[in-house]
């Protein structure tokens, strides 16, 4: 997940304070995902097959890279875990003054203490960069996997992912699932953060697309309006 707009902030705010808030977000994200290790210890004696993923959190400049390894094919519990943790991190980022944009992918990767590389990392980075908003999407391959492990109605009902036409910088949109991060009403906070960014067409489009998603997710959550029919697919519309 990228922290949007950090490159423009160096001229507008104290670098030390900005770095301090970035460090706080990194430490928070690391702690949030590492809590699964406590959960895992409690499960070992009971249902080893349901052990959660091993999560690692890396901070690379103004990006947070979250990786997870699992002993078998990812199932519904992996999606649930990842969504629940990422929603908490996303909301913490808003609280600290950061807008996040990212993507979730599944596949092969290599990591050590300093390096994270691989096709799954490239896939997530590519689709995250294409999205014209502040949000988190499932890449086409991840959306295909989600469809195989969820009943279509379960995804929206869990309030973790939602079907969405994600606007792309290249024009058109990606029909996929997006992280259902809006909780209650963060509209005023979103407007505050977008308005603090330099005035440009790109910022205006991201602002519009993000607010549209926020408002619709709140509408669905509180009115229990069923989501649009149809399953995500690869490609743009």
Host H or E run for residue 4: strand 2-4
Cα separation, 215 vs 219, whole angstroms:
6
Give the residue-averaged pLDDT of 75-81. 80
Query: What digits encode the pLDDT tens for the residues 164-202?
Result: 999 999 999 999 999 999 987 789 999 999 998 888 999
Enumerate residues 6+ apart whose C-beta is below 8 A from 131: 101, 103, 137, 166, 167, 168, 169, 174
Query: What residues have CB less than 8 Å from 18, skipping those under 6 apart?
Result: 6, 9, 10
* pLDDT-wise least confident of 8-12, 23-27, 163-167: 8-12
Beta strands in 99-200 (DSSP E): 99-104, 110-111, 116-117, 136-138, 161-167, 173-179
- Predicted local distance difference test score (pLDDT) of residue 232: 53
Q: What is the pLDDT of residue 43?
A: 46
pLDDT band at 104 (very low <50, low <70, confident <90, very high): very high
More confident residue, 62 or 46: 62
Average pLDDT over all residues of the chain:
82
Percent of the chain whose predicted confidence (pLDDT) is above 70: 80
Where do the domains of the chain lie, and which CATH numbers do they carry? 2-223 (3.30.70)
Using pLDDT thresholds of 50, 70 and 90, give the confidence band for residue 90.
very high
Per-residue confidence (pLDDT) for residue 152, from 0 to 100: 61
Q: Is 112 exposed, middle or buried, given 0-12, 13-18 or 19+ CB atoms closer than 10 A?
A: exposed
Predicted TM-score (pTM) of the model is 0.83
DSSP-assigned beta bridge partners for residue 168: 131
DSSP conformation letters of 123-137: HHHHHHHHB-SSSEE
């Amino acid at each position: 997940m990228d922290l949007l707009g950090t490159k423009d902030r160096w001229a507008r705010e104290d670098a030390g304070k900005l770095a301090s808030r970035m460090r706080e977000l990194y430490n928070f994200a690391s702690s949030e995902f590492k809590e699964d290790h406590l959960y895992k210890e409690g499960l070992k004696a009971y249902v080893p097959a349901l052990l959660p993923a091993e999560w690692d959190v890396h901070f690379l400049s103004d990006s947070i890279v979250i990786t997870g390894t699992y002993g078998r094919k990812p199932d519904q519990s992996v999606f649930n875990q990842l969504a629940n943790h990422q929603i908490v991190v996303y909301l913490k980022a808003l609280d600290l003054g950061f807008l996040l944009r990212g993507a979730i992918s599944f596949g092969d990767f290599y990591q050590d203490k300093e390096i994270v590389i691989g096709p799954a990392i490239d896939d997530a980075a590519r689709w995250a960069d294409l999205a014209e908003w502040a949000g988190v999407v499932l890449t086409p391959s991840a959306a295909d996997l989600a469809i195989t492990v969820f009943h279509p109605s379960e995804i929206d009902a869990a309030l973790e992912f939602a079907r969405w036409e994600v606007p792309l910088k290249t024009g058109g949109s990606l029909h996929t699932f997006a992280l259902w991060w809006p909780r209650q009403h963060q509209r005023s906070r979103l407007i505050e953060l977008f308005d603090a960014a330099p005035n440009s067409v790109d910022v205006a489009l991201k602002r519009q697309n993000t607010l549209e998603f926020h408002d619709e997710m709140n509408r669905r959550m509180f009115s229990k309006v069923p989501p649009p029919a149809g399953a995500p697919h690869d490609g743009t519309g």
